Structure 1
Amino acid sequence: MTYPKIDFLYLSEADMVKAGVTEMAGCVDAMETMFKLLKVGDFRMGGSNSNSHGVMMTFPENSTFPNMPTNGPDRRFMAMPAYLGGEFDMVGMKWYGSNTENRQKGLPRSILMFTLNDKDTGAPLAYMSANLLSAYRTGAVPGVGFRYFAREDASVVGIVGPGVMSKTAFDAIMAERPGIKTVKIKGRGKKSMDDFIAYLNQKYPSIEKVEPVADIEQAAKDADIVFVGTSSPTGDISEYPYINEAWLKPGSVVCCPAAARFDDDFILNRARSVADWINLYEAWAEEMPYPAYETIPIPAVRCMDLIADGKMEKSQVDDLGDILTGKVPARRNEDEIIIYSVGGLPVEDVAWGTIIYRNALEKGIGTKLNLWDKPELA
């Protein structure tokens, strides 16, 4: 870049696809590299603790201002800034608005954009469509867990909540354990079930059996991998999707990037709890009113509440980075059941977004836009 002139690259969703955003195996590799950088501290995120998920703006239940939106399911705006070092060495921020009612207009629930910036000047380098970017990095983080925790001979997957998040997570499952032969699916509505089944049939003809099931127990039973990706209202813990220890196969991994509930006795005494980045859950414990699990329904947040209650030791929750760097083993024994919590980090978008941006530059993809040739107020 030749200053003071600033040009930046715009990447539409179609451009992102051309640049490789849907290449799951590469995304899983990028996420593993990112987690190793987190472990050595070569990153920054928001908040006073530098581990914040982001800054969220919500709306009131009622407003005296006629144009102000009011609260509703998933109605929010959020900014997620981060710096990631190492081979990425980049600053970026994801910004999105979300509203469940978008689906009535043929739109996704959330509409996301992502900006990359020069780490020294703050100048924009790229502005890109981020729905696929976010979806694939969200699936790839479970993929890192599947790479280390899932049995090599895994053949059965149980899906609870067949939405977009489960589709990309399943892509990661197949990237890491291509021998999957049976998929059991628990969904709420016929359309989401039909869409998910059609996705599997079209993309993965090697799967021998796709079976809709009536409840979570049937989805979890005999599964080597259980993925819980259903949206759930927060506040009432009893309404979170419940998984009984007795339903789970010895040696299975249960991946929870969304609401999930287990018996405390199981969490405390027999389950292996792994967090993708434990500092994020500690940040939530600081930022959210106690008990944080009422607001953030991910199992590792329940662990934070149990630690606050003096019922659980911090050492009972393993951090993924410690496993990736060899500090602790991926498995302590073949039969342990692993609950793998996935919270979502801004550095994930920076990692995959940086790779896609560099791919686009190399391949001549995207549209160059001009910010200014010379700033009016410098």
Structure 2
Amino acid sequence: MTATPDRTASPYQLTVIPQAVVAAALDRLLPQSKAVVEHVYIEAAEGRLVNPDSLFLRPDPDPAHRERIIALPAYVPGESSAMGIKWISSFPGNLDLGLPRASALIVLNDLLTGFPTAVIEGALISAHRTALSAAVGAQALYGGERRVGRLAVIGTGFIAETTVRTMAADGWEFASVAVHDLDPARAEGFAERIAGHTARALTADSTREAVADADLVLLATTAVLPHLADASWFKPGAVVLHMSLRDLTADAMAGAVHVVDEVGHALRERTSLALAVAGGLVGKEEVRNVGDYLQGRVKPDRERLAVYSPFGLGSLDIAVARLVLDQSVGAEGVVVVPGFSG
């Protein structure tokens, strides 16, 4: 491991970066963040990441209860190497309280000493890297093209909105967007907010109506059990960004091209793809890493339905957090705690 410690700071010093500073940094860092996501995916395809399995803490093991906290540790090698962990909670009931569903923090550790060097608000970083993951995957499966006739969005939470806004900022063009949510009022509000990023935004009464004739589909629900059972609803050659991982039934996964961020991680925690592989409907050898597409080893097949199911690598959070830390030194709102560790 090549260590690049910060020689200007005491190993006992801790830097705390709140959400407002993170937001300002991310606004400036879109091209660099996207390049980092692509780099991490290529490293994953080459087997060079140190990205242990994420750990799920579920206060109530009943599948009907969706509250969970996830720990994602990682070490990212390279010129801007970084090491740390993301600790992110998902409590859907927060929405009824007027609070965000997810909250998170990221801890970065010094590569030489292992001491914690920074605590960074992580919910925005997590959403930003998820959105960029969608953008990178979509671009890879479209062969570099960033013009879409119709985008369908299923689920209208923070991740969905961040993804649409980030893709638009990255140069994606949508002729129209069809939006569906179990809560029609949320769908209408979402359509109004993204109207500036598309020629036309409309709501749909059902998932089937939304995805009909859609070239690109964004699934960003909080579903814990698969519910979308008929792949014939999708247009031939469509790209499905299956960001929520558990919307499609195993039967609906059969026959599609399957792309993930890293195969070993994607086939865990009863994701739709894991269920399809376990049931023999998708061969594990058929599942490819998106890094293979980024390097040109695999070419997109525009005639078949493609389902992109990135599990979410902690390496992305750690690498983007390192960018944010580097960009936030001396910024107003950053708190430095000398002697935090001793």
Give the TM-score normalised by the residue count of structure 1. 0.80
Amino acid at match of 2:194: L
2:216 alignment counterpart: 225
Amino acid at match of 2:261: D
2:56 alignment counterpart: 56
Amino acid at match of 2:247: A
- Aligned ranges 1:197-346 → 2 under 5 Å: 197-201=191-195, 203-204=196-197, 207-234=198-225, 240-242=226-228, 244-258=230-244, 259-262=246-249, 264=251, 267-268=253-254, 270-282=255-267, 284=268, 296-297=270-271, 299-306=272-279, 309=280, 312-329=282-299, 331-332=300-301, 334-346=302-314
Distance change in 2, residues 1:86/1:186 (3 Å): same
Q: For 1:302 and 1:101, locate their aligned partners in 2 and report how far apart those are by CA, in whole Å.
A: 27
Amino acid at match of 1:369: V
Runs of 4+ in 1 over 6 A off after TM superposition: none
SS of 1:6 mapped into structure 2: coil
SS of 1:112 mapped into structure 2: strand
1:144 to 115, 136, 141: 136
1:173 alignment counterpart: 167
The answer as to whether partners of 1:140 and 1:168 remain within 8 angstroms in 2 is no
2:116 alignment counterpart: 124
1:290 alignment counterpart: none
Amino acid at match of 2:274: V
Q: For 2:308 and 2:63, locate their aligned partners in 1 and report how far apart those are by CA, in whole Å.
A: 31
The answer as to whether partners of 1:20 and 1:359 remain within 8 angstroms in 2 is no
Q: For 1:159 and 1:3, locate their aligned partners in 2 and report how far apart those are by CA, in whole Å.
A: 45
SS of 1:93 mapped into structure 2: strand
1:30 to 22, 36, 56: 36
2:51 alignment counterpart: 45
The answer as to whether partners of 1:19 and 1:365 remain within 8 angstroms in 2 is no
Q: For 2:234 and 2:8, locate their aligned partners in 1 and report how far apart those are by CA, in whole Å.
A: 58
SS of 1:181 mapped into structure 2: strand
Distance change in 2, residues 1:210/1:76 (3 Å): same
Distance change in 2, residues 1:190/1:34 (3 Å): same
Q: For 2:103 and 2:72, locate their aligned partners in 1 and report how far apart those are by CA, in whole Å.
A: 14
Q: Pairwise CA RMSD of aligned residues?
A: 2.6
SS of 1:260 mapped into structure 2: coil
1:301-353 per-residue CA deviation (whole Å, 9 max, x = no partner) reads 233313xx4x5432221221211222221x13x32221111211111101111
Query: Does residue 13 of the first structure (1) align with residue 5 of the second (2)?
Result: no
Q: CA deviation at 1:161?
A: 0.7
Query: Does residue 113 of the first structure (1) align with residue 101 of the second (2)?
Result: no
Q: CA deviation at 1:115?
A: 0.8
1:180-231 per-residue CA deviation (whole Å, 9 max, x = no partner) reads 1200001111342133123203x52xx2211100111111111110011111
2:4 alignment counterpart: none
Give the TM-score normalised by the residue count of structure 2. 0.88
Stretches of structure 2 that go unaligned for 5 or more consecutive residues are 1-6
The answer as to whether partners of 1:93 and 1:114 remain within 8 angstroms in 2 is yes
Distance change in 2, residues 1:371/1:21 (3 Å): farther
The answer as to whether partners of 1:10 and 1:368 remain within 8 angstroms in 2 is yes
1:368 alignment counterpart: 336
Distance change in 2, residues 1:17/1:60 (3 Å): closer
2:3 alignment counterpart: none
Q: CA deviation at 1:179?
A: 2.3
SS of 1:170 mapped into structure 2: helix
The answer as to whether partners of 1:228 and 1:256 remain within 8 angstroms in 2 is yes
Q: For 2:30 and 2:85, locate their aligned partners in 1 and report how far apart those are by CA, in whole Å.
A: 21
Distance change in 2, residues 1:183/1:158 (3 Å): same
The answer as to whether partners of 2:63 and 2:224 remain within 8 angstroms in 1 is no
- After the TM superposition, which of the residue ranges 135-144 and 35-44 deviates more from structure 2? 35-44
The answer as to whether partners of 2:87 and 2:106 remain within 8 angstroms in 1 is yes
Larger Rg: 1
Q: CA deviation at 1:90?
A: 0.8
Amino acid at match of 1:368: V
SS of 2:214 mapped into structure 1: coil
1:53-92 per-residue CA deviation (whole Å, 9 max, x = no partner) reads x12222246xxxxxxxx99733233221111111331111
1:81 to 68, 73, 80: 73
1:101 to 89, 93, 98: 93
Q: For 2:192 and 2:249, locate their aligned partners in 1 and report how far apart those are by CA, in whole Å.
A: 31
The answer as to whether partners of 2:256 and 2:304 remain within 8 angstroms in 1 is yes
